[in-house]
Amino acid sequence: MLESGEVRKRLRQTIEAAKRDAAARRAALGDVQKEYDAFLENHAMPVFRQIAGALRAEGHVFQVVSPAGNIRLVSERDKDDYLELFFDVDRQFPTVVGRVSRVRGTELTSSEQPVRGNAKVSDLTGEDVLDWILRVIVPFVER
């Protein structure tokens, strides 16, 4: 049987290590959050706007909205039909994730996937955003 003093000592060490790791993660996340904000403004937003314009020209009416640090391409036919990019900080490595929400009748389906694997935010480009959109938009434009 283990001594209670040894158990408490090891537990305290684990708690202290967890606190140090969390503090380091929060500090690093601040820098990555700035990179994500720049990515949205410089890469994602322009591509989303270009896609919305091209979709409109093809008879598919979508609008771009940007709620609270995310960006969405929302169908004007049904607000629950959308493509969205968001910053997922709950993963092992903070990742830009794409979410697709689609309504068919009364059924709502939603799926999520990283825009480009586990790429760092600083490595993502407008081309990555375009590639992701073109992969996931098919159900919205097929008739």
- Write the pLDDT tens digit of every residue in 59-102: 999 999 998 889 999 999 889 999 999 999 887 788 999 999 99
User: Mean pLDDT across the stretch 26-42?
Assistant: 88
Residue 73 neighbours by CB under 8 Å, 6+ apart: 48, 51, 52, 55, 62, 63, 64, 82, 83, 84, 133
Identify the helix (H) or strand (E) that includes residue 26.
helix 4-39
Summarised one tens digit per residue, pLDDT across range 92-113 is 788 999 999 998 888 889 999 9
Q: Calculate what percentage of the chain has a pLDDT beyond 70.
A: 99
* Element at 97 (helix H, strand E): strand 95-104
Residue 124 has pLDDT above 70, yes or no: yes
SS3 74: strand
CA-nearest of 138, 137, 135, 78 to 108 is 78
More confident residue, 21 or 143: 21
Q: What is the pLDDT of residue 94?
A: 86
Mean pLDDT score across all residues of the chain: 91
Residues 115 and 132: beta-carbon distance below 8 Å = yes
